[in-house]
Amino acid sequence: MGESRESITRMGLYGLIPLAIATAGVWLSPWIVSAGTAYDLSELALGYVAIIASYLAGVGAGGVFSKSMPTPESLGPGIIAAMAAWLAAWPQGALFVSLPSGARYLIAIGVLVYLWLRDKRAVTEGLLPAWYGALRTRLTFWACLFLLAIVAHAYL
């Protein structure tokens, strides 16, 4: 039958905990948390967002498969979003990619906002329940706020 609205909401809210911990750790540096640990937490936040974005992109692919035979045009945006999130999570200076920290966070936020807009459109089209759109709005807002707080700390 699937998960209930309440359990999906609860899981979504629990899913914000790693971002909240990372944000708190970054802002408590260097007084309570060492600078190295704060850096690690900020990197882990980007990796976590890449996992979440890939999951959300996969949910969209599942929706495409359930409605019709998928085409490259219907699956492509989700794949691109997941790859962009992966790029944002790529450690600074690793191999050939060296994006500035702020750019990596903006990419991650952009991916989350794109996936939110995609899901809101699906709600409007009646493909997803209205409550899911409201939940995604709250979760995306808080996830983006946490990411903005982490990147803001780096520039203050």
Sketch the domain layout of the chain as residue ranges: 5-155
pTM score, whole prediction:
0.90
pLDDT one digit per residue (tens) for the chain, 156 residues: 457 999 999 999 999 999 999 999 999 999 999 999 999 999 999 999 999 999 998 887 666 666 655 555 577 888 899 999 999 998 876 666 678 889 999 999 999 999 999 889 888 888 788 999 999 999 999 999 999 999 999 888
Angle formed by the axes of helices 101-124 and 72-89, nearest 10°: 150
The type of residue at 53 is A
Return the C-alpha torsion angle 135, 137, 27, 151, nearest 10: 140
Q: DSSP letter at 24?
A: H
